[in-house]
Copies of this chain bind each other. A is one copy, B any other.
Amino acid sequence: MKDLQQIHDSKAGIQNAAREALFVIKIGGNIIDDNNKLEIFLQKFSAIKAKKILIHGGGKLATQLAKDLGIEQELVDGRRITDAATLKIVTMVYAGFINKNIVAQLQANGNNAIGFTGADANFIRAHKRLSSVSKGIDYGFVGDVDEVNTVAIEPLLEQNIVIVVAPITHDGKGQLLNTNADTIAQSIATTLGSKYEVSLLYCFEKAGVLLDANDDNSVIATINPAYFTQLKEAQLIFAGMIPKLENAFAALEKGVEKVIIGKAESILDLVQAKAGTTIQKS
């Protein structure tokens, strides 16, 4: 039995060694809203020598455009409702302006890149959020992911083309849907986990998961499930961080190799796990 187990382990080792590294990187509003920061980030991002997928959120541009157009943002319990006018705006801003400018800048930095929404090549299929999930609130054209389909993506990754993803999905019936960028990043990472050695990076405004929310030097280098439980119980962790970490652990369970959380500015250190917080399985 031991021999068989050793053979199995060694086979698994070979299989792991053969899997190529893939970075699935999500950036948020703090980078997207600042042209200068975005430009510097994309220069650094371009220097990462590996297969890459970049998922961008929307930032404040969509809110600003809605304001400029006099379209009122409807909020329920502090959450924005995606009505038809808002969906049009986010489709224009996320899939049009932001996505294409990122792609053009990556090209200028010598990274061949291609923009995607979930509708393109049927990449991400979603459904309009069910009222059972949203506690009866109709969030409008908001999508929850059903399936990531990588048939068209894989030959592009094989050509070392960077995939740049806007947080818009579709339902397969012609309806576009506004979808959370963190969730999209996670869905892509777990789907590609069987083929690549996937590192999932969430870039946000903090240097990592902090012990003291006001001190960027209090970054926790690694968190495993046991430590996470301790931190939660001692209420040492910022409430907004808890769902992010729960998602990270879920991604690890589903085949992602590493989840790293940190500042976009430190991207070149993050990809080497020299900065930020690494979330690990055990």
Contacts and interface: CB of A to CB of B under 8 A. Distances in A.
Interface string A73-104: 00000000000000010011111110111011
A198 interface: no
A136 interface: no
A161 interface: yes
A112 B107 contact: no
Contact of A91 (B97, B120, B156, B172): B97
A174 interface: yes
Interface in A170-184: 170, 172-176
A280 interface: no
Contacts of A88: 97
Given A91-B96, A96-B99, A113-B121, 14 more contacts: A91-B97, A91-B100, A92-B92, A92-B97, A100-B117, A100-B119, A100-B168, A103-B120, A104-B176, A107-B119, A107-B172, A112-B122, A114-B120, A115-B119
Contacts of A113: 119-121
21 contacts: A94-B96, A96-B97, A96-B99, A100-B120, A100-B176, A103-B117, A103-B119, A104-B170, A104-B175, A107-B170, A107-B172, A108-B172, A108-B173, A112-B122, A112-B152, A113-B119, A114-B120, A114-B152, A115-B119, A152-B159, A155-B155
Contact of A161 (B96, B152, B159, B168): B152
Contacts of A170: 103-104, 107
Given A114-B120, A117-B115, A161-B152, A100 B95 contact: yes
Interface of A: 68-69, 88, 91-97, 99-101, 103-105, 107-108, 112-117, 119-122, 151-152, 155-156, 159, 161, 168, 170, 172-176
Contacts of A173: 108
B114 A161 contact: no
Contacts of A105: 174
Contacts of A151: 159
A62 to B, nearest CB: 10
Which interface residue of A91, A159, A172 has the most chain B CB atoms within 10 A? A91
Given A69-B69, A159-B151, A104 B119 contact: yes
Nearest to A94: B96
Contacts of A92: 92-93, 96-97
Contacts of A97: 88, 91-92, 96
A174 B108 contact: yes
